[in-house]
Structure 1
Amino acid sequence: MSGTARKVRVVGDPVLHAVTRPVTEFDAELSDLIDDMFASMYVAEGVGLAATQIGVDRAVFVYDCIDSDHHRHVGHVVNPVVVATAGPIDDGEEGCLSVPGPFEELDRPSSVTVRGVDKTGAPLEVTGTGFFARCLIHETEHLSGILYIDHLPRNRRRKVLRAMEPFAWNA
């Protein structure tokens, strides 16, 4: 694996609530950032990571996630936009590397389609089901400054924040 793992930012860091800048340069710097994001995600044992989570104000996320048919999807999306959601609501648990430790139930669509480009600027569209759908919408929201806990009622949000714990990759 290439790339250098970077510290994952945790809730309370203002970068996590900032709207990212669109990527306009498709160069070696972007490719290196994506490699670093994968390295950071794997060290933290995550399934997705947005650039803001390592303190970078760029609209890009990476993923390595299983869908509802247990197929593994690995990739990245630059300048993502959710273009479609469908299916019954999935009320599964969700967690976040930037809210380390706890998981909480959160309603999400069971199918999500994200459109963007790859690191070369080529158009791409990714559709995910099940947990992969949850990952796609979760990471896209990060780039708009939204954390999954922002969707929770105040009492459940407080419970999650109290249960957070430090890990080696973010301490």
Structure 2
Amino acid sequence: MAKLPILTAPDPRLKQKATPVERVDDEVRRLMDDMLETMYAAPGIGLAAPQVGVLKRLIVVDVARDGEPPAPYQLANPEILWVSDEDAGYEEGCLSLPDHYGEVMRPANIRVRYLDRQNEIRELEADGILATCIQHEIDHLDGILFVDHMSALKRNMILRKLLKAKKQQALPAYSAAS
């Protein structure tokens, strides 16, 4: 397994749509494993393939709390089949928008269909933070960031801060000896 670099906004690749996975084979399973390792190391609770520069419809999620055994989900071609009428708000963050958070309203319960590690079609009903996390990661597959669900003012403020931080990282470091 390998830890992968995570793209940060405003990288234009984060706004592109991912293409479906033809079948879950050894190469896709390896990518899923690398994505899990990357997510755990970050640390995070979800990661989509576009966040590591791969425009494939793959997500990994693990919302197990500290002290609980890992409970990872690896979903290829996830598709939301049903959403509840009830919404729930969560303070969301994102590995591609480090250190920025915002309240996002999403359906409280969902049913999703996907391909599992064995290339079998599965369905999963989710609620709470698992439902939120899956919806957040599926958004990534469609080029949508959690800030796109916020007001233009809040979104632009966060994106400007990220752009400024990126520019500062790109500046050459000058030593005192120069």
Q: Same fold (TM over 0.5)?
A: yes
Structure richer in strand, relative to its length: 1
Q: Which sections of structure 2, spanning at least 5 residues, go unmatched?
A: 171-178
Preserved contact between residue 113 and residue 124 of structure 2 (Cα < 8 Å): yes
Change (3 A) 1:81 1:150: same
Moved beyond 2 Å, runs of 4+: 70-73, 158-166
Other structure's SS at 1:135 match: helix
Structure richer in helix, relative to its length: 2
Aligned-pair distance for 1:100? Answer: 0.7
Change (3 A) 1:58 1:76: same
Preserved contact between residue 10 and residue 159 of structure 2 (Cα < 8 Å): no
Q: Indicate which of 99, 118, 121 corresponds to 1:120.
A: 118
Count of residue pairs brought into register by the alignment: 163
Change (3 A) 1:127 1:73: farther
1:19 is matched with 17
Change (3 A) 1:25 1:123: closer
2:61 is matched with 63
* Equivalent runs, 1:21-170 vs 2, <5 Å: 21-66=19-64, 73-86=71-84, 88-162=86-160, 164=162
Q: TM-score, length-normalised on structure 1?
A: 0.87
Q: Which amino acid aligns with 1:6?
A: L
Q: Which sections of structure 1, spanning at least 5 residues, go unmatched?
A: none
Preserved contact between residue 83 and residue 109 of structure 2 (Cα < 8 Å): yes
Over the aligned positions, Cα root-mean-square deviation in angstroms equals 2.2
Listed one character per residue, the Cα deviations across residues 85-139 of structure 1 (whole Å, up to 9, x for unaligned) are 1152112211111111111011111112211111321011122111111001011
Aligned-pair distance for 1:25? Answer: 3.3
Preserved contact between residue 104 and residue 160 of structure 1 (Cα < 8 Å): no
Distance 1:133 1:25 in 2: 24
Distance 1:116 1:149 in 2: 25
Q: TM-score, length-normalised on structure 2?
A: 0.83
Larger radius of gyration: 2
Other structure's SS at 1:128 match: strand
Q: Which amino acid aligns with 1:104?
A: G
